Amino acid sequence: MKRLIKYAKKTTIPITMRTYNKELEIIASDILYQNASEDGSEKPNYSNRDFMNTILIFQTALMDKLYDNQDYDNMDFANRCEMATQCGLDLRKFIHTYTGLDTHNLDDFL
């Protein structure tokens, strides 16, 4: 962990991340419409790969909000890393508990 922190402090490559806000709005609205229109007798039948794609989107948004929270608390870098790692581990456990899928076993999602 200390090596990672040292490396992160030395690197200053600017990265501009896209939010995909327009695309996400369209997808979310369509899913809400479908859910409101259904009687509960059908499910979307996502493949494991589709599910992993949604996890990546959710985790990116979650980390964005985690960062905002850490900024608000003026958290130091080491604690930020520790908290982000724990958040990822908690998410992994949650997903495994309710789906039986292990997000660290990429063969499950290919």
Contact call for residues 55 and 95 (beta carbons, < 8 A): yes
pLDDT of residue 14: 73
pLDDT band at 85; cut points 50, 70, 90: very high
pLDDT of residue 35: 84
Q: What is the pLDDT of residues 25-78, one digit of tens each?
A: 999 999 998 888 877 778 889 999 999 999 999 999 999 999 999 999 999 999
Q: Is residue 9 part of a domain?
A: no
Ramachandran quadrant class, 40 (left: phi over 0; alpha: psi -120 to 50; beta: rest): left
Q: How far is CA 62 from the centre of its chain?
A: 6
Q: Is residue 1 part of a domain?
A: no
Q: Is residue 74 part of a domain?
A: yes
Helix (H/G/I), strand (E/B), else coil: 16: coil
For residue 101, what are the domain limits? 14-109
- Provide the domain count of the chain: 1
Nearest residue to 63 via CA among 82, 87, 47: 87
pLDDT of residue 7: 56
